[in-house]
Amino acid sequence: MATHEFQTEVSHLLNLIIHSLYSHKEIFLRELVSNSSDALDKLKYLTLTDENLKQLEFEPRIDVRFRDPAEHGNDSEPATLTVADTGIGMNDQDLVENLGTIARSGTKEFLGKLSGDSRKDANLIGQFGVGFYSAFMVADKVEVITRKAGEDKAWKWVSDGQGSFEISPAERDTQGTTVTLFLNDEGKEYASRWQIEQVIKKYSNHIAFPIYLSYLKKEYDDEGKEKSTVPATEQVNSAAALWKRPKNELSDEDYAEFYKTIGHDSEDPLLHLHTKAEGTIEFTTLFFVPKKAPFDMYQVDYRPGVKLYVKRVFITDDEKELLPSYLRFVRGIIDSEDLPLNVSREILQQNRVMTNIRNSSVKKILGEFERLAKDEQEKYLEFIEQYNRPLKEGLYQDFGNRETLMELVRFKSTKVEGWTSLAEYKERMGEDQKAIYYITGSNEQVLRSSPLLEAYKKKDIEVLIMADDIDEIVVPSIGRYKDVELKPVNRADAGDDLKDEGDKEKAESSKDLVEKIKAALGERVKDVRVSVRLSDSPSCIVVDDADPTMQMQQIMKAMGQTDMPEVKPILEVNPDHPIVAKLKDLSDEELVADSAILLLDQALLVEGASVKDPVEFVQRLNRVMQQALK
């Protein structure tokens, strides 16, 4: 017998499960049954594809048994509940890896996010998926006896969930796994036929393999008195792959419960989409969108959410290419009638059938989002709050569906509360307006008060506020929406659209002033210009049309690109502003220089950039203040 310690994360998780999920404790049975179903799926696949296992006698089934001490008139023994399957099984090494650690990436970060507030944590942890370890909510001790398909030895794993587990050799006639829970006070109610039946019907009715429940059937005599008990076994689920059943036979609850077993989520999904394609290529898809974005959505090694089946045989749930990566939040099933069973990853990626399924699935999913946006606006906003960003990734990745995606993404705006679409913006555009204007940056509030927006506000032109870091990359790549150009307001040439007659004169009469400021700033700027976009602020900075914006530079730096040449800004000044106007006739060269540099520094600061040398900045500010306070 060997004793092993649980990985620290497991101990942490066990603690949390026990303390925050107790109000949903019945889910332990769903988790165990779904593990058995996965194990049967895996073995079924191998018996069709692996030469060594083709001969195996395999009757896929899940058996649930219980022992209620009261029924046996012996209260001293604990109540137990057993879930056994004829699936793939585990050897000793598998046991250590699967039931002693959490292999999922991002587990540490995930655990770090937990707040200690058990209600909030229950939600989070539901999303993470509690799996096997949930058994410890209802059991003081869990025993697993298992034998791996194709191997002779069987193994026993035992733990009380308190930090360690033991593994020793055991006996088991056939391959598969038997999990026995020694129920605690919280769990003893589950040693009951009715309880088990109810929980299985609720959560696992659709499991594609038969689930049998064994119990002691009471027999009665002619007078209705209990005569004796006989052991009985009954199938308790319908055992039909849910996605193969006609839509009109399924209720929202059926879909929701199914989603919870495959989606690693404790909440109902935001929407489901069940379709069947018949024709040259036949396949069924059942997709779900979780209410909350999956916690690992922004991790490189996120867990894909779509399972591939071929003729109801499970093939893989680890294939990231089933849907494009921007739809990685979608959960569900693809079941194809036309793919070969022994389809490998390489084949999948180049397979014409798979490409066809993928393309048509994406169209269906996006079509459903369009429908939601039109018919169920409130729900669509809920969706946008979670998934606007991945949709924007789609704009960049999925050229073929760009038009649709452009209708789906939403932006904040200077004109409306909440979110707006590009179509709505276009609708609101004035007749003379030449482009769809937008401002990018990292903070919505900072952007809303940017001096760059002053002239647009004055002229009543709407500007889209884009504070997602991805906007900086995605939006310029789109270029236009229908026939209208998308223009960033922080580009030098965006100001041209705002020019009117008076501006030419203004530029002419401010020539000397501009030269004066330019001389004072020297190498700090690329150019100094008279601004047409300012009304209340004295200055702002813009970038040359060919240069990366300041946000872009920050993104590139964050991505490790440190050898970028320095990009100098263009300073725009507002000659109507009293400070700038005063500079015109000022002859104190030092004060002109200080003021010019302060105009640049403040423009950088409001853009969210930092001044290069804070000490110098403060000294300069103090010199100017001294002059003002004289």
Ligand X SMILES: Nc1ncnc2c1ncn2[C@@H]1O[C@H](COP(=O)(O)OP(=O)(O)OP(=O)(O)O)[C@@H](O)[C@H]1O
Q: Does 306 bind ligand X (CB under 6 A)?
A: no
Nearer to ligand X, 60 or 131 (CB): 131
**According to CB under 6 A, which one of 13, 17, 46, 90 is a site residue for ligand X?**
90
Q: Does 84 bind ligand X (CB under 6 A)?
A: no
Nearer to ligand X, 39 or 122 (CB): 39
Q: Does 88 bind ligand X (CB under 6 A)?
A: yes
**Phi (first) and psi of residue 440, to 5 degrees:** -115, 155
**For residue 595, which of 532, 534, 542, 528 has the smallest C-alpha distance?**
528
Shortest-Cβ-distance residue relative to ligand X: 131
Coil, helix or strand for 66?
Answer: strand
**For residue 489, which of 553, 428, 551 has the smallest C-alpha distance?**
551
Cβ–Cβ under 8 Å, residues 476 and 469: no
Binding segment for ligand X (CB under 6 A), chosen from 3-11, 86-94, 209-217, 414-422, is 86-94
Q: Does 36 bind ligand X (CB under 6 A)?
A: yes
- HEC states along 587-620? CCHHHHHHHHHHHHHHHHHHCCCCCCCHHHHHHH
Q: Does 132 bind ligand X (CB under 6 A)?
A: yes
Length of the chain: 630
**Phi (first) and psi of residue 291, to 5 degrees:** -60, -45
Q: Does 535 bind ligand X (CB under 6 A)?
A: no
Mutual angle of helices 377-397 and 471-478, in 10-degree steps: 80
CB of 62 to ligand X, least distance (A): 9
Coil, helix or strand for 181?
Answer: strand
**For residue 550, which of 564, 538, 567 has the smallest C-alpha distance?**
567
Binding segment for ligand X (CB under 6 A), chosen from 34-42, 223-231, 388-396, 551-559, is 34-42
Q: Does 539 bind ligand X (CB under 6 A)?
A: no
CB of 40 to ligand X, least distance (A): 8
Binding segment for ligand X (CB under 6 A), chosen from 126-134, 135-143, 498-506, 620-628, is 126-134
Task: Please identify which residue in the block is written with the tokens 């990853």.
Answer: 345
**According to CB under 6 A, which one of 30, 147, 188, 264 is a site residue for ligand X?**
264
DSSP 295: T
**What is the signed CA dihedral for 34, 35, 40, 41, rounded to 10 degrees?**
70
The residues, any chain, with a CB within 8 Å of residue 313's CB and separated by 6 or more, are: 41, 44, 45, 48, 341
Binding segment for ligand X (CB under 6 A), chosen from 35-43, 71-79, 436-444, 475-483, is 35-43
Binding segment for ligand X (CB under 6 A), chosen from 33-41, 135-143, 241-249, 274-282, is 33-41
Q: How far apart are CA 487 and CA 253, in angstroms?
A: 46
User: Which residues ranging from 199 to 228 are in contact with ligand X (CB under 6 A)?
Assistant: none
CB of 101 to ligand X, least distance (A): 9
Nearer to ligand X, 104 or 524 (CB): 104
Radius of gyration of the chain (CA): 33
Helix or strand (DSSP H, E) at 427: helix 422-428
Site size toward ligand X, by CB under 6 A: 18
Which positions make up the binding site for ATP? Answer: 31, 35, 85, 90, 98, 105-106, 127-132, 177, 345
Helix or strand (DSSP H, E) at 57: none
Q: Does 85 bind ligand X (CB under 6 A)?
A: yes
**Alpha helices (H) along 191-282:** 193-204, 252-263
Nearer to ligand X, 59 or 483 (CB): 59
**According to CB under 6 A, which one of 129, 161, 269, 304 is a site residue for ligand X?**
129
x/- mask, ligand X, residues 331-370, rule CB under 6 A, reads ----------------------------------------
Q: How far apart are CA 529 and CA 514, in angstroms?
A: 6
Q: How far apart are CA 301 and CA 288, in angstroms?
A: 21
Cβ–Cβ under 8 Å, residues 313 and 48: yes
Q: Which two tokens mark 36? A: 């058995």
Q: Does 131 bind ligand X (CB under 6 A)?
A: yes
CB of 32 to ligand X, least distance (A): 7
**According to CB under 6 A, which one of 6, 27, 28, 35 is a site residue for ligand X?**
35
Binding segment for ligand X (CB under 6 A), chosen from 1-9, 65-73, 127-135, 348-356, is 127-135
Q: What is the identity of the amino acid at 158?
A: V
Nearer to ligand X, 261 or 551 (CB): 261
**According to CB under 6 A, which one of 159, 177, 450, 539 is a site residue for ligand X?**
177
Binding segment for ligand X (CB under 6 A), chosen from 63-71, 124-132, 321-329, 343-351, is 124-132
Nearer to ligand X, 102 or 343 (CB): 102
* Residue 253 CA neighbour count, 13 Å, CB half: 5
Q: Does 39 bind ligand X (CB under 6 A)?
A: yes
Binding interface with ligand X (CB under 6 A) = 31, 35-36, 39, 85, 87-90, 98-99, 129-133, 177, 264
